[in-house]
Amino acid sequence: MLGRWKNHVGQEIEVFQEFRLLTAEVISRTAFGSSYLQGQHIFEMLMKLSSLLVNFDLKLKLPGISKFFKTNDEIEVEKLRKGIRNSIMEIVKEREEKAMSGEEAESFGSDFLGLQLKAYHDTNDN
């Protein structure tokens, strides 16, 4: 981030976008051990989902109708939810396959996902 800012000496920088990218990078590396580029699609879906959910609370809803008729926003929320879940599951499956085949030197990894997978696979039935 600071390297990119050096190119803007004397110019204004939109720091909201820069810090959003930095935050997403930190979360992605901490949770999945990956760079923001790998998780970029997930973060884009999360941004869309959060904006839809904010608008969701402001709309008038009739009880029982949503069971039979879904609005465009409800359909989009469901697609985003499934997309986020599928993307994360792909990362999990890829990590598990690498660990089981012995490609990864650190087995499951030392990030949050790696620790969760290690705990899952090291469970003791007793």
Residue 4, amino acid? R
Q: What is the pLDDT of residues 7-64, one digit of tens each?
A: 888 888 888 888 888 888 888 888 777 666 667 788 888 889 988 888 776 666 666 6
What's the CA gap between 46 and 42, in Å, rounded?
6
Domain of residue 93: give its range. Answer: 12-121
Residue 6 maps to a domain: no
Domain count across the chain:
1
Residue 1 domain-assigned (yes or no): no
pTM of the predicted model as reported, rounded to 2 decimal places: 0.69
Question: By C-alpha distance, which of 124, 39, 120 is closest to 87?
Answer: 39
Q: Burial, 98: exposed, middle or buried (Cβ in 10 Å; 0-12, 13-18, 19+)?
A: middle
